[in-house]
């Protein structure tokens, strides 16, 4: 079935280029255009698209307001375009909180060149959000199933929790950290696929809503109890348990697709923390984290995966589950309480 897309942007050039890219993919077609948020709302009701691509800065009504209204009137997956600045990060996170499913950096130069990589990234993102099963988009979806236990509870003490996630991760993490109490002492590392200019703003947002201390990770800093560290975008994070535990941030090898990579962080946790690691795989596209989870399991660590019903994109958890690497499959609302009950 063809994916029907509504393109919303106040730039005629950007609307035209994005439309050309979308229409070049046989999986999808542009069925309408809008140059402000109010038009987007009207076209959403009239044309009933499967996906909306949305700019933020527009006349009459901005993108975030439009997303909020769309989620109240006729919910549909929204892919935001955002600038690669700190302010752009804040705005994008607001949009994700309002109901947008994912985002792409708004790069006029790259769009103008219409490169194969840009085409592939945009169309794959549209296909992914179109096929998402986010419960918030359909009121008729039944509530998530309770946690599914595969191989029992934690086998021993946990010294480090490492969380890997991608598409849908910002909203999932915000929901999760609202349920983890101030008394939770085990340090947490977050690997969220995100541009370098976004992770500091995201860490600050999590810090405001969580009783725990959340910050963007820095090279060489000690891992402290009750603290949460967000891996910097564009870099690779590794952990070392020697001398009380520390974080190491390194430039990424060009051959590594994800920066930060869940696999790399998991591999370092497997080496230094071994069976005393609890790894969580949350919503995300692709399979980053699968090989790292394999290394963790070889060391006797515990792996939990988010269930399909509460994922925006089930790709990353599914990759781990299909390989038999998950000890438990949990609905997102169950993860925080279970963390507190078992290791808090």
- CA 54/CA 100 separation, integer angstroms: 9
Let me know if 213 is a catalytic residue.
no
Let me know if 248 is a catalytic residue.
no
Question: What is the structure's pLDDT at 84?
Answer: 74
Domain ranges of the chain: 3-131, 148-343
- CA 190/CA 216 separation, integer angstroms: 9
- CA 19/CA 8 separation, integer angstroms: 10
Catalytic entry in 10, 193, 268, 334: 193
- By DSSP bridging, strand 148-149 and strand 328-330 are antiparallel
The CATH code that applies to domain 148-343 is 3.40.50.180
DSSP class per residue in 270-313: HHHTGGGEEEEE-S-SS-TTHHHHHHHHHTT-EEEEE-GGG-S-
Please state the CATH superfamily assignment of the domain spanning residues 3-131 in this structure: Response regulator (3.40.50.2300)
Tokens 């950007």 — which residue?
14
Geometric angle at alpha carbon 257, from 101 and 135, rounded to 5°: 20
- CA 27/CA 40 separation, integer angstroms: 22
Question: What is the structure's pLDDT at 137?
Answer: 40
Rounded average pLDDT per 10-residue block, the chain, 344 residues: 96 94 96 98 98 95 96 96 83 92 78 73 91 48 43 71 96 94 95 94 95 97 97 97 94 88 98 97 96 97 96 95 97 95 84
Catalytic entry in 166, 197, 210, 268: 166
Catalytic entry in 9, 50, 55, 288: 288
pTM of the model: 0.88
Token pair belonging to 321 = 């589950």
Question: What is the structure's pLDDT at 254?
Answer: 80
Closest by CA position to 68, among listed 35, 76, 88, 198: 76
Same fold, 3-131 and 148-343: yes
Tokens 């808090």 — which residue?
344
- By DSSP bridging, strand 160-165 and strand 102-105 are unpaired
Question: What is the structure's pLDDT at 139?
Answer: 36
């Amino acid at each position: 079935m063809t994916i029907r897309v509504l393109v919303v942007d106040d730039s005629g050039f950007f609307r035209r280029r994005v439309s050309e890219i979308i229409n070049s993919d046989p999986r999808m077609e542009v069925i309408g255009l809008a140059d402000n948020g109010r038009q987007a709302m009207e076209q959403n009701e009239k044309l009933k698209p499967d996906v909306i691509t949305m700019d933020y800065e527009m006349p009459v009504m901005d993108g975030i307001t439009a997303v909020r209204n769309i989620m109240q009137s006729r919910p549909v997956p929204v892919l935001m375009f955002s600038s690669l600045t700190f302010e752009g990060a804040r705005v994008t996170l607001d949009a994700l909180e309002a109901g947008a499913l994912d985002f792409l950096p708004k790069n006029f130069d790259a769009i103008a060149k219409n490169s194969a990589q840009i085409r592939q990234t945009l169309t794959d993102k549209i296909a992914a959000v179109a096929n998402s099963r986010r419960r918030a988009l359909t009121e008729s979806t039944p509530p998530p199933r309770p946690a599914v236990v595969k191989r029992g509870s934690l086998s021993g003490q946990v010294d480090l929790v490492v969380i890997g996630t991608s598409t849908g991760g910002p909203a999932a993490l915000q929901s999760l950290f609202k349920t983890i109490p101030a008394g939770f002492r085990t340090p947490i590392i977050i690997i969220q696929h995100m541009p370098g200019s976004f992770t500091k703003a995201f860490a600050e947002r999590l810090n405001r809503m969580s009783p725990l201390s959340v910050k963007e990770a820095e090279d060489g800093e000690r891992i402290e109890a009750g603290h949460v560290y967000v891996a910097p975008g564009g870099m690779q994070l590794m952990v070392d348990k020697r001398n009380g535990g520390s974080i190491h941030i390194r430039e990424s090898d060009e051959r590594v697709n994800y920066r930060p990579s869940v696999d790399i962080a998991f591999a370092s946790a497997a080496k230094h923390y071994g069976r005393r690691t609890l790894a969580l795989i949350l919503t995300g596209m692709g399979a980053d984290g699968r090989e790292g989870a394999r290394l963790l399991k070889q060391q006797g660590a515990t792996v939990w995966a988010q269930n399909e019903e509460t994922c925006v994109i089930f790709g990353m958890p599914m990759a781990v589950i299909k390989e038999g690497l998950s000890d438990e499959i949990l609905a997102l609302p169950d993860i925080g309480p279970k963390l507190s009950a078992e290791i808090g």
